[in-house]
Amino acid sequence: MPPKKKARSAGAAVPKSYQAIARQRVVIENMRPALEGGYPIKRVPGETVTVQADAYADGHDVVRCALRVKRPGARKWEELEMHSPQEDVWEASFQVDKTGDYLYSVCGWVDLLASWHHGLERKVAAGQDVRVELQDGAEAFRQAAEHQRGKLKKRLLALAELLEDPERVAEAVHVALGEGTKALMAECPHAVDRTESARLPLRGERRKAGFSSWYEFFPRSASGSTERHGTFDDARKKVLPLIARMGFDVIYLPPIHPLGVQFRKGPNNSTASKPGDPGSPWAIGSPEGGHTAIHPELGTLKDFKAFVQAAGKMDIEVSIDLAFQCSPDHPWVSEHPEWFKWRADGTVQYAENPPKKYQDVLPLHFESEDWQGLWQALLEVTLYWIEQGVTIFRVDNPHTKPFVFWEWMLGEVHKRHPEVLFLSEAFTRPRIMARLAKIGFHHSYTYFTWKNTKQDFEDYLNELVHGELREYMRPNFWPNTPDILAWHLQYAQAPMFYIRHFLAATLSSNYGIYAPAFDLMVSDPVTGKEEYYYSEKYELKDWDFEAMTPFRERIAHINRLRKDQPALQDTFNISFNETDSDLLLSYTKIDANGKDIVLCVVNLNPEHTVSGWVRLPYWRLLPLLGIGEGHPLVMQDLITNHEYTWSSEWNYVELNPHELPYHLFRVIPA
Amino acid sequence: MPPKKKARSAGAAVPKSYQAIARQRVVIENMRPALEGGYPIKRVPGETVTVQADAYADGHDVVRCALRVKRPGARKWEELEMHSPQEDVWEASFQVDKTGDYLYSVCGWVDLLASWHHGLERKVAAGQDVRVELQDGAEAFRQAAEHQRGKLKKRLLALAELLEDPERVAEAVHVALGEGTKALMAECPHAVDRTESARLPLRGERRKAGFSSWYEFFPRSASGSTERHGTFDDARKKVLPLIARMGFDVIYLPPIHPLGVQFRKGPNNSTASKPGDPGSPWAIGSPEGGHTAIHPELGTLKDFKAFVQAAGKMDIEVSIDLAFQCSPDHPWVSEHPEWFKWRADGTVQYAENPPKKYQDVLPLHFESEDWQGLWQALLEVTLYWIEQGVTIFRVDNPHTKPFVFWEWMLGEVHKRHPEVLFLSEAFTRPRIMARLAKIGFHHSYTYFTWKNTKQDFEDYLNELVHGELREYMRPNFWPNTPDILAWHLQYAQAPMFYIRHFLAATLSSNYGIYAPAFDLMVSDPVTGKEEYYYSEKYELKDWDFEAMTPFRERIAHINRLRKDQPALQDTFNISFNETDSDLLLSYTKIDANGKDIVLCVVNLNPEHTVSGWVRLPYWRLLPLLGIGEGHPLVMQDLITNHEYTWSSEWNYVELNPHELPYHLFRVIPA
């Protein structure tokens, strides 16, 4: 018989830090996803998180792991059993069901009941005498019963009684190895001395962080004449109906504030402006006000709010531009000279990228002694516009302001208004773009604007959706911006515009166009530069905001399809299909439930018909569709309503760009 | 003129946590190496650490980074300038020069002087007027001067004076853009508001952690007769001279303690032992004592110390076995019953891996209520042997004891005796082996024992030396152990032994053999198992410890070459060379200074001559050797003393395993 236990006290000098962990035998490491610096991963409701960790224990006992999740507002943690897809790796998934702050962790422990059971199985299989094992099992189940109550406790004690009955050994073995005992053990894991990983944050953001269609336009060009400065009222009456009809759900307005006069730019970015030239909207501030004022020629705050309200009735949100910089006439230059960098000649340092000079724009000086005052003022600007009904901000050049400022500011806004979204306009180096996303921006401009070959698209999308980036950076694809008319869009004809729109709208769930330059297919560049000739940035335009052109119809159609097909509302569900031509890009998107399967094929050549073969991802589709190999599939082209029957892996396609350079197939069984 | 600065106080509510970091514009992330959990990376003196981090700032200013290093005992941190081998990635290296605890970090900042200088260069290149820039520069250099003194201060002020002199603009530009100004700026970085990464630990271990040759033998088989139990005196007189002559520098002795009688194993692991059977050395403990006692038949503590001392005089260290388990006769079973797991029938649970049973070995119960007493006792055992002169321990099955115990115990020993080394005998799953290394073991047994094809060796070595493992796990290659006679060594002839020895001794800087079974080419297995027939574990052997056989001469020769060639004293410097045969393995090793270049070629087929072509890594060798393409190389075979001249990339080799199955070339210019 085991003698009585006695504690050995002499010389025991294990530090206190070990008291809690000394009997935690499971190691948990390499949690993923897990972002350096403790930043949250991001999801929108409906999206899933698959958590993996490496976990193992000393010795040969059975290890079990659980994924723990604390949902926003919940008092308790949920626990999900993990499985082990490969040796010493554990995995489980959970779905995000609402917005808010989540925590998740992985917990692991040695399961003594299961270890006993595993040993019993092996000994019985080896024909060994297991009478003592049954006694040991009885004791183990009695101990487990101590942590339980009610029916479960009774079942555990009943099993213990059977196991320790020397008259019923054969029956005890039979019952112990049966399914009932396994089920019983699963119900009461012996979960003491568990190891828990760090508790990692997840931010549940609203649906629009994951799925949105943006339309950028200059309200000052909404008057229908280059002679008259457009107003919010013009925009509300003339532009809103078009936007609603085209199916966009975010309007982005370039800065709407009073503009500087000193060093105002003229047409084509010339330094000599004539009276009447409206100036760049990004040269913010005049004696009439700064970042919280409205350009008088656009209207009043009331007009702005009416515009926002009218948009809201059409389920369209209005985003304004946070361009944290000042014209030389901005009130802050005199009220807060300490927020600018003064030069030896008594002027303020203007923005420049030698040899380029932007004399109409003064950067704010974040290394100012009064950085706190500056931060606070910029937060106040943001909160002011939120009060006026703005729920989304496009942020101009965030990469030229300190990261720590954004982290603080976005955090402050999040605390007060978690629904407010920020789009990072950082066309810069990859790590910087990623950092801005990590510290709180909800959407990010991307390099899509310049990608133009099959290899380009495949490589770039794979980088965005298959690495750690996917956990925190939500791409927003723009074929153009007021600053960028990419080489391939210069002097382009309709097919190229169709292609670029289709790619933006189907590769990415978030996309936008600078309009109506895009939907009216403006393509004249400044020679040798990726810039618009007679850019709207420096002059008023007389755009057609009414005609429902074939291209606008097509855009509207695709925006409708984006709303109808859940597969198109996710960026991270893309996989590329093989084709036998470098000019044929094909990809499949499948929604989270596996019900909606969309397959796209694009002819990347805007001039000539391209034909070739596309390889169906059969091995993935068949189980989702619940059919066997060889069963034909119907490819419903949701744009043309044509149907094709595909019954083998490789399938012929032919796309004439002058008719339509793409297929958007819904895939269903024949 | 800039107005006076005034602080904006109203409403400023930036939390205090931002005060220190608000103007730190550089982000530092993705430090590597950096181990999860804060464990130290490891090096021995002479080894280098190359540190990389991602670092960048907002905007367009010039970023600079420094690698900071705090050496053991140093009061100050050293700073090494980092360079940027790719965009936003920074790198620098430092060499470990002594044992002890190091810290390293990366520091980054925006260099305002360099940013000014860079802008000046671009404006001068663009032909712009730079008079105000020169004034700004004067102010920047005056500010820099405030942080300096002596000559440096004078030079800064002199430059400022020149820059602000309106009469000397051309001269000022010339001087500002000259080398002198660059050098001056480098001497006084404007290093305020620096960002520093976490400070990461590095453990400088003694040379033997990186380079050692082990000889394992059973002293009880040193008597020269199976009739008499060998003693430490026998080992000292008969075995030490052989070991010294063969050039090994670590002796590893299986457990030297009194052995149990209950359930003692007989020859070939039979459960029926006869009187006189010595039992397994791993069944530790009898009424004569436990882990701090010496088996009376081996001699006394004095004899053991005499053995250790005699070995020490030959520059050989003695390692004993820490096998933390007990025979049923171990004093702890009655003195500390609480340290064992008692079963329902009043017996202690013995070790088993069903259907295998190890009735002669009782595991210690680390989940005991008195785990503290147990931990302390095991530490005391270890410290006891250190007091007796042991400086290295081979640890038996560490993976069957809790990781947290080892972390504590190795930490306690390290505090008191940082020179003491531990070899982890964990032939188990990869993550567990890695974990043991990470938490403090200095050497690790590996899968080398079972690797036997070219692909095997290349894949495995690449895994060990090119991933994060290299930062903390030091492989120790063993072709055999008393427990393992791998399939390829069963019934093997001399060439296979030559090959296995050569591979162990040249692929890895740490290696060992279980001897003299290996050097006497014992190869009879238990049929169908990777075990020795009539294993020395269960009986006394009458080995020849005297004859200097050709194989022993060869082992001695290679051990000498290992001491002569620094390239062979590092495991992590290996790169494989292409060959045109799966039976020809070739690798190059180059020492840290690039002076010693060794190239090995091995015929992996022990039966037949193999000829083929080996591709020299010309592109790496030429700059190291200081010669141009086409210059012939002399390949000195350090074993045969033959010389070959290789003057092209691909070179013919032919290896007859019955003569010698390998080349060990030193590479020098012709």
Say yes or no: A445 and A529 in one domain.
yes
Q: What residues of chain A lie within 8 A of the CB of B14, using their CB?
A: 372, 375-376, 408
Position of tokens 């989940």? B367
A624: closest CA among A585, A664, A571, A567?
A567
Say yes or no: A58 and A144 in one domain.
no
Split at pLDDT 50, 70, 90, the class of A192 is: confident
Residue A73 maps to a domain: yes
* From B303, B396, B519, B596, active-site residue: B396
Say yes or no: A499 and A620 in one domain.
no
pLDDT at res. A6: 47
Single out the residue in A545, A569, A593 at which a domain terminates. A569
Residue A15 maps to a domain: no
CA-nearest residue to A137 within chain B is B344
Residue A221 maps to a domain: yes
Task: Compute the distance between CA of residue B611 and CA of residue B116 in angstroms, rounded to an integer.
Answer: 64
Residue B353 maps to a domain: no
Say yes or no: B238 and B372 in one domain.
yes
Residue A565 maps to a domain: yes
Say yes or no: A175 and A58 in one domain.
no
Q: Is the peptide bond before B632 cis (omega within 30 degrees of 0)?
A: no
- The alpha carbon of residue B666 is apart from the nearest alpha carbon of chain A, in Å, by 42
Nearest CB to B56 within list A22, A54, A431: A431
Say yes or no: A551 and A515 in one domain.
yes
Task: Compute the distance between CA of residue B243 and CA of residue B555 in angstroms, rounded to an integer.
Answer: 11
Q: Are A144 and A152 in contact (CB under 8 A)?
A: no
Which residues is B63 bridged to in the sheet? B110
pLDDT at res. B106: 98
Q: Please provide residue A380's backbone torsions phi and psi, each rounded to the nearest 5 degrees.
A: -60, -40
pLDDT digits (tens, 9 = 90+) for A392-412: 999 999 999 999 999 999 999
- The mean pLDDT value for A157-172 works out to 94
Residue B539 annotated in active site: no
Total number of domains in chain B: 4
Q: What is the identity of the amino acid at A112?
A: L
Q: Please provide residue B405's backbone torsions phi and psi, each rounded to the nearest 5 degrees.
A: -65, -45
Please return the burial class of A129, using the count of CB atoms within 10 Å of its CB with bins 0-12, 13-18 and 19+: exposed
Task: Compute the distance between CA of residue A88 and CA of residue A410 in angstroms, rounded to an integer.
Answer: 39
CA-nearest residue to A121 within chain B is B354
Decide if B404 and A353 are in contact by the 8 Å CB cutoff: no
Residues 6+ apart with CB under 8 A from B68: B77, B78, B79, B80, B104, B105, B106, B107, B196, B199
Q: What is the identity of the amino acid at B15?
A: P
Decide if B337 and A408 are in contact by the 8 Å CB cutoff: no
A511: closest CA among A457, A558, A552, A580?
A558
pLDDT at res. A197: 97
Strands A662-669 and B200-204: unpaired
Mutate to test the interface with A, among B17, B19, B36, B58 (most CBs of A within 10 A): B58
User: What's the whole-number average pLDDT of chain A?
Assistant: 95
Residue span of the structural domain in which B640 resides:
574-669
* CATH number reported for the structural domain that contains residue B151 in this entry: 1.20.58.80
Decide if B370 and A135 are in contact by the 8 Å CB cutoff: no
CA-nearest residue to B125 within chain A is A355
Strands A63-70 and A78-81: antiparallel
Q: What residues of chain B lie within 8 A of the CB of A342, using their CB?
A: 1-2
Q: For B211-263, give the secondary structure using H, E and C.
A: CEEEEECCHHHCCCCCCCCCCHHHHHHHHHHHHHHHCCCEEEECCCCCECCCC
Decide if B375 and A429 are in contact by the 8 Å CB cutoff: no
- The alpha carbon of residue B58 is apart from the nearest alpha carbon of chain A, in Å, by 5
pLDDT at res. A16: 87
Query: Catalytic site residues of A?
Result: 396, 425
Residue B87 annotated in active site: no
Decide if A29 and B37 are in contact by the 8 Å CB cutoff: yes
CA-nearest residue to A89 within chain B is B431
Task: Compute the distance between CA of residue A343 and CA of residue B553 in angstroms, rounded to an integer.
Answer: 80
Nearest CB to A60 within list B347, B353, B380: B353
Q: Please provide residue B654's backbone torsions phi and psi, each rounded to the nearest 5 degrees.
A: -145, 125
DSSP E strand stretches across B78-178: 78-81, 83-86, 89-95, 100-110
Q: For A476-493, give the secondary structure using H, E and C.
A: EECCCECCECCHHHCCCC
- The alpha carbon of residue A213 is apart from the nearest alpha carbon of chain B, in Å, by 29
Say yes or no: B446 and B457 in one domain.
yes
Single out the residue in A544, A569, A594 at which a domain terminates. A569
A437: closest CA among A448, A426, A450, A453?
A426
Decide if B346 and A56 are in contact by the 8 Å CB cutoff: no
Q: Is the pLDDT of residue A538 over 90?
A: yes
Strands A317-322 and A212-216: unpaired
Please return the burial class of B19, using the count of CB atoms within 10 Å of its CB with bins 0-12, 13-18 and 19+: exposed
Decide if A5 and B337 are in contact by the 8 Å CB cutoff: yes
pLDDT at res. A190: 62
- The alpha carbon of residue A216 is apart from the nearest alpha carbon of chain B, in Å, by 25
Mutate to test the interface with B, among A372, A374, A406, A435 (most CBs of B within 10 A): A372
Task: Compute the distance between CA of residue A432 and CA of residue A440 in angstroms, rounded to an integer.
Answer: 13
Residue B378 maps to a domain: yes
User: What's the whole-number average pLDDT of chain B?
Assistant: 95
CA B543 to chain CA mean position, Å: 33
- The alpha carbon of residue B424 is apart from the nearest alpha carbon of chain A, in Å, by 13
Q: What residues of chain A lie within 8 A of the CB of B25, using their CB?
A: 366-367, 402-404
Position of tokens 């309106």? B166
- The mean pLDDT value for A194-210 works out to 97
CA A117 to chain CA mean position, Å: 45
Say yes or no: B560 and B413 in one domain.
yes
Nearest CB to B24 within list A13, A21, A404: A404
Single out the residue in A542, A569, A596 at which a domain terminates. A569
Q: What residues of chain B lie within 8 A of the CB of A353, using their CB?
A: 60
Decide if A370 and B7 are in contact by the 8 Å CB cutoff: yes
pLDDT digits (tens, 9 = 90+) for A61-118: 999 999 999 999 999 999 999 999 999 999 999 999 999 999 999 999 999 899 999 9
Q: Is the pLDDT of residue A12 over 60?
A: no
Decide if A337 and B3 are in contact by the 8 Å CB cutoff: yes
Decide if A123 and B431 are in contact by the 8 Å CB cutoff: no
Say yes or no: A301 and A411 in one domain.
yes
Q: ipTM of this complex > 0.90?
A: yes
Residue B55 has which token pair? 């670092």
Angle CA A45–A49–A51, to nearest 5: 160
Nearest CB to A14 within list B25, B346, B376: B376
Decide if B126 and A355 are in contact by the 8 Å CB cutoff: yes
- The alpha carbon of residue B532 is apart from the nearest alpha carbon of chain A, in Å, by 24
Q: Using the 8-state DSSP alphabet, how is residue B555 labeled?
A: H
Report DSSP letters for B266-320, one per residue: BGGGBS-PPTT----TTSB-BTTBSTTS--TTT--HHHHHHHHHHHHHTT-EEEE
CA-nearest residue to B398 within chain A is A58
Which residues is A92 bridged to in the sheet? A51
Mutate to test the interface with B, among A4, A8, A115 (most CBs of B within 10 A): A8
Task: Compute the distance between CA of residue B94 and CA of residue B67 in angstroms, rounded to an integer.
Answer: 9
Which residues in chain B land under pLDDT 70?
A: 1-12, 189-190
* CATH number reported for the structural domain that contains residue B650 in this entry: 2.60.40.1180
Residue B500 maps to a domain: yes
CA-nearest residue to B60 within chain A is A400
Angle CA B368–B374–B378, to nearest 5: 145
Decide if B18 and A346 are in contact by the 8 Å CB cutoff: no
Which residues is B83 bridged to in the sheet? B91
Say what the pTM is. Answer: 0.94
pLDDT digits (tens, 9 = 90+) for A599-608: 999 999 999 9
Locate all alpha helices (DSSP H) within A262-339, ordered by sequence: 301-313, 331-335
* CATH number reported for the structural domain that contains residue A518 in this entry: 3.20.20.80
Mutate to test the interface with A, among B35, B54, B372, B378 (most CBs of A within 10 A): B372
Please return the burial class of B619, using the count of CB atoms within 10 Å of its CB with bins 0-12, 13-18 and 19+: exposed
Helix (H) or strand (E) holding B318: strand B317-322
Task: Compute the distance between CA of residue A586 and CA of residue A652 in angstroms, rounded to an integer.
Answer: 12
Q: Which of A139-148, A255-264, B320-329 has the lowest mean pLDDT?
A: A139-148
Say yes or no: A554 and A605 in one domain.
no
DSSP E strand stretches across B111-199: 195-196
Nearest CB to A404 within list B18, B36, B338: B18
Which residues is B284 bridged to in the sheet? B259
* From B133, B205, B234, B425, active-site residue: B425
Q: What residues of chain A lie within 8 A of the CB of B3, using their CB?
A: 334, 337
CA B330 to chain CA mean position, Å: 36
Q: CB pairs below 8 Å between A and B: how many?
A: 212
Nearest CB to B23 within list A23, A367, A408: A367
- The mean pLDDT value for A1-28 works out to 71
Say yes or no: A380 and A480 in one domain.
yes
Q: What residues of chain B lie within 8 A of the CB of A13, using their CB?
A: 376
Say yes or no: A44 and A174 in one domain.
no
B401: closest CA among A665, A309, A57?
A57
Q: What residues of chain B lie within 8 A of the CB of A163, using their CB?
A: none
Decide if B135 and A23 are in contact by the 8 Å CB cutoff: no
Q: What residues of chain B lie within 8 A of the CB of A12, using their CB?
A: 372-373, 375-376
Decide if B22 and A60 are in contact by the 8 Å CB cutoff: no
Q: What is the identity of the amino acid at A20?
A: A
Residue A492 maps to a domain: yes
Q: What residues of chain A lie within 8 A of the CB of B366, using their CB?
A: 23, 25
Q: Using the 8-state DSSP alphabet, how is residue A276 labeled?
A: T
